[in-house]
Structure 1
Amino acid sequence: MDYYRTFIQHFWSEHIWLPPNTTWADIAPEASKEINHTNPRHLIYPIPIAFVLLLVRYLLEKYWFTPVGKSLGIKHCRPKKAPAIPALENAYATSKKWKHKQIQGLAKQLDMSERQVERWLRLRKGQNKPSTLTKFCENAWRCSYYLFSFIFGVRILWDKPWLWNINECWTDFPHQSVTSDIWWYYMISMSFYWSLCVSQFFDVKRKDFWQMFVHHIATIVLMCLSWIVNVFRVGSLVLVVHDAADILLEAAKMAKYSGYQKVCDFIFAVFTVVWIITRIGIFPFWILKNTCIDAPKIVPMFPAYYIFNGLLILLLVLHIFWTYLIIKIAYRSVNAGQMEGDIRSSSDDFSEDSNENNEKKKEN
């Protein structure tokens, strides 16, 4: 217990997280009647709100997104199950990816053709795969949230001085009042990421499941730290910049699942432009430039400054990597005449569909 207390005291050291000559008591909620400092105790609120969001999502998917998807011709077809063959099931439980030699061996062992074994493997992989309608509803929910979050963020930031002059993020720092609209913006945003941590376990399973789980947790930790240290002004700008492109990404996938390929291609093209403008343009040359170069000229630096900037730079590195994937997909799409891939956490959505179609063609 003593080790735990010692660790906590060192971790939350004022010399690390606060500017010089500032203490935790100075930015406590009750420290001033004129300034409404952020309250770290409020960070518990996003957890129950996350379950409210999950309930809202369930209701929207059942009573709105599903009927809309069906009206667009998306069917809720259950995938065909693979026949029960114990030897193949045992091999599948050992490894989901079979090499050609393994397929040959299983075919000889069971007196089956290689094509029959390959077809069984394809059916086995697909029998637990969610239907297109399920994936459409999932994307519709995320698209709806990002649209709401972006509009809400722009609306509440429109009259905030730091939207128009980013140096205002550091005026009187860390003694800045958090308004009720910014409070709700932060709480709802954190709630959404908490809900993703829960829903990820029953949503469409992706190849980078754990990477995205760690990403959601890291996002929550970063938001919590920025709330505790009163860096919510920069945090609000980062949130609104990131929501813009995500709306279009989810909308493109909805169009893809609905069978509107040309609409999907158009949205994806717009998404690519918006992504590059916001993630490779505005984020580094507006936000990062201010936090890394301009901020030290306005406020005295402290260790947490380097922690936050390090995390933001890491985010930029991810943006650059994802931009490479987007451009690669856009190039392939131009050559193919339509979008044939996807990026980031849903990279397997379209690629697996196209692979499955190719396998069916081979069988025929």
Structure 2
Amino acid sequence: MISNIFKPKKQQLIQEGQQNITLGKLVKFSHYETIFKYSFFAVLFVISLYSLDVIQFQQFLKEKNLRRFDWSDLKWMIIGLIMIHITKEINRYLVFDYVSKSLDQKYIGLDRQLRVQKIIKWIYDTLYYSVATIFAYIVFRDEKWFPTELGGSNFTETMYDFPNMPDNPWVPFYYMIQASSHVHALLLLMVYGTKIELKYWEYLLHHFLAVSLLYFSTIYNCESIGIVVLVLHDISDIFLAYGRTYADIGKNKILVYVSFSAIQISWLYTRVYVFPIKIYDIIVNHPGFSLYWENTKHALYNQVGLMIVLFGMHIYWTIFMVKVGIGIFSAGKYKNVYDNRENKLDNKKEN
């Protein structure tokens, strides 16, 4: 019943991002969904061109007797999918009542229901990314491909020992568990996203890029790239998930500002500073690619290309963060201009 009441308004909001694009509107990001929709299909088309190359690359690894992914380790992804689903349901059961009671009263109706679900997800994300980051740091910090910027103690180059698969026994386990998390998120979005998500194409592109990077980095023995990208994202996602949660259920404004500051610092450092450094390092320092250039060049193009598209999304999100920051530190008021694109369903102005 509630969904029927809000459906016309929701459709209107979705259509806001589906109109003809002008340069002025593009600069103002008023038609973001159209941009992300076209970007998604462009990325999908480009990566489809790698279908034959991934087969040839696997044959190359076999001929050269190089270390490669053992497909029996896919069992960890299956186990991960099951465990992630179970732990998410447990998390939902434990925090649902608390979130429902604590959520800011400005959210009403369908908007409130959707917000509760998002906060429950963010609470889970905070815990998951924290555990994943700590685990990765403990087991990978001494690897020659683990960045000094993230606490690595023995960094040489991101593509160290390529085209061999990284020689660390924890790589398959960590990689498949992380893959299960991103595949789970992508599947949920594809099944339920069109019904409740106003930023559907934006999130679809992001999750699709993540899954594509995981898949191709596994096929191309570029797990070192994948792990670095995962850790970079997970660090900032800890603060992002927690900060967005506390902004809506927290009572202390000072802690809201502290949380937002932590988001800004971690985000700018990992995604805007370190991430492009790693892209540059892969492009410039790749002796493994040079040694077998004809066999591995498409792996380089694939990984760098996907990372550049992902970095473009980082810049897009950074613009919204800057806008939120200006609101906080100039007006002394938290107004999330990014998340609140969803919160127009109740037709209320923010206080």
TM, length-normalised to structure 2? 0.71
SS at match of 1:262: helix
Match of 1:251 in 2: 242
- In the TM superposition, 1:153-168 aligns within 5 A as 153-163=136-146, 164=152, 165-168=154-157
Could you say which residue in structure 1 is the equivalent of 2:308?
313
Matches within 5 A, 1:112-127: 126-127=109-110
**How far did residue 206 of structure 1 move?**
2.9
Deviations 1:305-333 (A, max 9, x none): 11211111111222122212211221122
Alpha carbons 2:163, 2:289 under 8 Å: kept: no
CA distances 1:187-210 after superposition (whole Å, capped 9, x unpaired)? 111111111123334579332113
- Show the counterpart of 1:268: 260
Q: What's the Cα RMSD here?
A: 3.2
1:12 to 2:54 alignment: yes
Partner residue of 1:335? 330
Matches of 1:177 and 1:75, distance apart in 2: 45
How far apart are 1:299 and its partner, in Å? Answer: 3.4
| Aligned pairs (5 A) from 1:19-58 | 23-26=60-63, 31=65, 37-40=68-71, 42-43=73-74, 45-47=76-78, 49-58=80-89
- Asked if the contact 1:238/1:283 (under 8 Å) is kept, the reply is yes
The secondary structure found in structure 2 opposite 1:180 is coil
Residues 66 and 254 of structure 1: is their aligned pair in 2 closer, same or farther, counting only changes over 3 Å? same
Following the alignment from structure 2 to structure 1, what is the Cα–Cα distance between the partners of residues 115 and 317?
Answer: 25
Whole-Å separation in 2 of the counterparts to 1:8 and 1:230:
15
Task: Give me the whole-angstrom Cα distance separating, in 2, the residues matched to 1:131 and 1:12.
Answer: 40
- Aligned partner of 2:96 in structure 1 is 66
**Match for residue 179 of structure 1?**
168
In the alignment, the residues of structure 1 paired with residue 307 and residue 103 of structure 2 have an alpha-carbon distance, to the nearest angstrom, of: 42
List aligned pairs for 1:208-287, cutoff 5 A.
208-260=199-251, 261-285=253-277, 287=278
Q: Conserved in 1, the CA contact under 8 Å of 2:73 and 2:172?
A: no
**Aligned partner of residue 278 in structure 1, secondary structure:** helix
Partner of 2:127: 144
- Conservation of the 8 A alpha-carbon contact between 1:38 and 1:228: yes
Per-residue CA distance 1:106-146 (angstroms, 9 max, x = gap): xxxxxxxxxxxxxxxxxxxx447516543332210111111
The Cα shift of 1:215 comes to: 2.3
Deviation of the 1:214 alpha carbon: 3.2
Give 1:49 deviation, angstroms.
2.3
**Aligned mates of 1:334, 1:75 — CA distance in 2:** 23
Aligned to 2:286: 295
Seen in structure 2, the aligned counterparts of structure 1 residues 332 and 290 have a Cα distance that, compared at 3 Å, is same
SS at match of 1:161: coil
CA distance in 2, matches of 1:43, 1:226: 14
CA contact (8 A) 1:139 1:253 kept: yes
Amino acid corresponding to residue 214 of structure 1 in structure 2: L
Maintained 8 Å contact 1:76/1:134: no
C-alpha spacing 1:148/1:136, structure 2 compared with 1 (3 Å): same
Q: Distance in 1 between matches of 2:80 and 2:156?
A: 32
Larger radius of gyration: 1
SS state of the match for residue 204, structure 2?
helix
Distance in 1 (CA, whole Å) between partners of 2:309 and 2:50 is 26
Q: Distance in 2 between matches of 1:131 and 1:315?
A: 26
Could you tell me which amino acid in structure 2 is paired with residue 179 of structure 1? N
CA distance in 1, matches of 2:82, 2:288: 43
Query: Is 1:188 matched up with 2:216?
Result: no
Stretch deviating more after TM superposition (48-57 or 173-182):
173-182
Structure 2 equivalent of residue 87 of structure 1 = none
Relative distance call for 1:138 and 1:167 in structure 2 (3 A) is same
- Counting only pairs closer than 5 Å after superposition, residues 343-362 of structure 1 correspond to structure 2 as 343=338, 346-349=339-342, 351-352=343-344, 356-358=347-349
Secondary structure of residue in 1 paired with 2:113: coil
Alignment match, 1:114: none
**For 1:159 and 1:259, how far apart are their aligned partners in 2?**
38
1:43 touches 1:224 (CA, 8 Å); kept in 2? no
Instruction: In structure 1, give the amino acid aligned to 2:77.
Output: P
**Amino-acid identity (%):** 20
* Aligned-residue offset at 1:56: 0.8
